[in-house]
Amino acid sequence: MSPTYEMRIEQGKIAEFARATMSDHPDFAGENAVAPPTFLTTSGFFWQTDESKAVAAHGLDRARTLHAQQEYIFHGEPPHAGQVLTASARIADRYEKVGKRGGTLTFVVVVTEYRDEQGNLVAEQRSTAVETAHAPKAG
């Protein structure tokens, strides 16, 4: 597990995210706003510390890495405005496959756990990245 970091679930940020994703669902507005399911992705951009980013970076060459899959698992009610979650990322799996165009593809699955103020697991974010063996050939 990486070092933990806090993610404050703010009403205004929920509203901004909903607007950016073109959602006008009433649950994403007001004092008791519920965070949209994919809102947790923002934690990696705004709240994550340099130390916790090291795990999420997973050692792949960014020039040859693609985002392959994203999954969210909620263990009860989704996060809501006013909550402060503690997040921590870990590498859950790392494996290789031979690509159809030759070369090895390296897959890394990073799981970020989000816990509430009492330490209860609220949600998990599973993100899969894939590194190609070489840059694609032109043509």
Task: Please answer whether residues 110 and 54 qualify as being in contact, where contact means their C-beta atoms are separated by less than 8 angstroms.
Answer: no
Per-residue pLDDT of the chain (139 residues; tens, 9 = 90+): 567 889 999 999 999 999 999 999 999 999 999 999 899 988 765 555 555 454 455 678 877 888 889 999 999 999 999 999 999 988 899 999 987 777 899 999 999 999 999 999 999 999 999 988 876 566 5
pLDDT of residue 18: 94
94 part of a folded domain: yes
* Domain encompassing residue 96: 5-131
Q: Is residue 139 part of a domain?
A: no
With 0-12 / 13-18 / 19 or more C-beta atoms within 10 angstroms meaning exposed / middle / buried, residue 85 is buried
Q: Look at residue 136 and tell me if it is in a domain.
A: no
Could you give the number of structural domains in the chain? 1
Please report, for the domain that includes residue 62, its CATH number. Answer: 3.10.129.10
In a domain, 107, yes or no: yes
Q: In this structure, what is the dihedral angle of CA atoms 46, 122, 124, 59, given to the nearest 10 degrees?
A: 50
Instruction: Check if the beta carbon of residue 11 is closer than 8 Å to that of residue 31.
Output: yes
> CA 58 to CA 53: how far, in whole Å?
9
Residue 10 lies in a domain: yes
Q: In the prediction, which pLDDT does 116 show? A: 96
Asked, for residue 19, whether it belongs to a domain, the answer is yes
Backbone φ and ψ of 61, nearest 5°:
-75, 115
Q: Evaluate whether residue 138 is within a structural domain.
A: no
Q: Is residue 91 part of a domain?
A: yes
